[in-house]
Amino acid sequence: MVKKAPDIAPGVISRLKDPGMHFIGYVSGLALRINKTGARNWILRATVGSKRRDIGLGAFPEVTVARAKEIAAEKRQQIRNGIDPVAAREAAQMALKADQASFITFREAAKQYIAAHEAGWKNLKHAAQWRTTLEAYAYPEIGDLHVRDVALPHVQKIIEPIWHKKTETANRLRGRIEKVLDWATARGFRSGQNPARWRSNLDMLLPAKGKIAKVQHHAALEWHQCGSFMAELRQQEGFSARALEFCILTACRSGEARLAKWSEFDFDRKVWTIPAVRMKAGKEHRVPLSAQAMALLNKLPREEGTDLLFPNGKGTCLSDMALTMLLRRMTKNCTTHGFRSTFRDWAGETTAFPREVIEHALAHQLKDKAEAAYARGDMFMKRTLLMQAWADFIDKPAAGENIVSIARSGTDVPVAVADTHAHQQVQVG
């Protein structure tokens, strides 16, 4: 056991300079240790169990003589209670480090979620929208808040002010917050119910989106106007015009066409294979190419240094805005995506092609899961006939007026003139 040294007056302690251990009394084993550089630290030398320990109490004079005596007395009491002060401090430090390791703000959680998932997103615009909406609406309220502390009142404060004014933005923002919090739960950064979930949660506090915001469909031309529009479009020059023409001929989405590469085309078989990564459903899609689509491709110049069909001036893909601006210059009140609706209306109203064929042409997944389970083919042969009928129809500026009615099964079904060839047998490679 360490014996108690005679008490040394505080004034004397402050003047100690010789290197070594200077036991100052007051508490048994309390000493001021001075090293060769002159640095001075408080030490409590004590026997803990069967081991002698030198327990650091802090630096002098930051820790005063009076405070050093208090700490030393506390440590002595811990030892008498069977507690190892050094082991207790190490355990506390480890617990603190573990807690700090689990500490993550909502902002950091969102950044990690985006980093983990953006490689699977189909375009840079989607990732940008994630960042901008969270930056504008969520971060000011919960960005610096511990992700485990985000609760329903926080989500309400973010969503409610814009729910009626910007309903679609608010709903997407809610979904993004929900995903970030789900990610945080999966990573062990939080627990419990997700306060951003809709069902049996926010739906009790906010009106349904459909009751306060009308669905805004993409503006589209009437199908009977498409022939005249195509004639006008073909007078326009540049890759933007050709990309839009190709979109219309193939009924594809803007991004699928703007990012199309020459290596995706089989000119012998007249097939364009869009890779799964660029498809909305995440599944590879084969597009039969009509004679008009093939003619367009054969006239396209191949730019050096890029595999893209429709590069911009820098050799990269056209932006979605390039096609939008083209339509504005043509003073047309429609959108690129709207032509898919035009195609769907034409096929549904003026032809006898089955719904499934039309939906496959649009690369839509069948809503009926049972039906989809059995429909494993892609109806390529029938879609070849459909796409050629569509191309023939829009090849005629006055095609909308050229509709005939034929009797089928005792019922008059309107059929476009182009569809009179719908049942011809064609060879498709």
User: What would the pLDDT profile of 87-121 be if each residue is shown by its tens digit?
Assistant: 778 777 776 665 655 689 999 999 999 999 988 77
User: Is residue 197 pLDDT above 80, yes or no?
Assistant: yes
What are the residue ranges of CATH 1.10.443.10 in the chain? Answer: 223-421
DSSP 8-state symbol, 299: H
Tell the CATH superfamily of the 223-421 domain: Intergrase catalytic core (1.10.443.10)
pLDDT for the residue numbered 264: 95
Of the ranges 63-77, 121-135, 327-341, which one carries the lowest mean pLDDT score? 121-135
The residue that leads in pLDDT, 24 or 262, is 262
Tokens of 384: 């070849």
User: How do residues 346-359 score in pLDDT, each as one tens digit?
Assistant: 999 999 999 999 99
Closest CA to 190 of 150, 135, 155, 218: 150
Q: Are 256 and 287 in contact (CB under 8 A)?
A: no
Q: What percent of the chain has pLDDT over 70?
A: 84
- Residue with structure tokens 């007395």? 73
The count of other CB atoms within 10 Å of the CB of residue 351 is 22
The residue-averaged pLDDT of 200-224 equals 77
Domain 106-212: CATH architecture, name and number where available? Orthogonal Bundle (1.10)
pLDDT tens digit string along 263-308? 999 999 999 999 988 888 778 999 999 999 999 999 999 988 899 9
Instruction: Outline which parts of the chain fall under CATH 3.30.160.390.
Output: 10-101
Say what the pLDDT of residue 101 is: 52
Q: Pull the structure tokens for residue 341.
A: 């609706």
Average pLDDT of the segment spanning 68-97: 81
> Maximum Cα–Cα distance for the chain, whole Å?
120
Q: Is the pTM of this model over 0.75?
A: no
How far is the C-alpha of 4 from the C-alpha of 46, rounded, in Å? 11
Residue intervals of the chain classified under CATH 1.10.150.130 are 106-212
Top-ranked range on mean pLDDT: pick from 52-56, 307-311, 393-397, 408-412: 307-311
On whether the 10-101 domain is CATH 3.40.50.300, my answer is: no
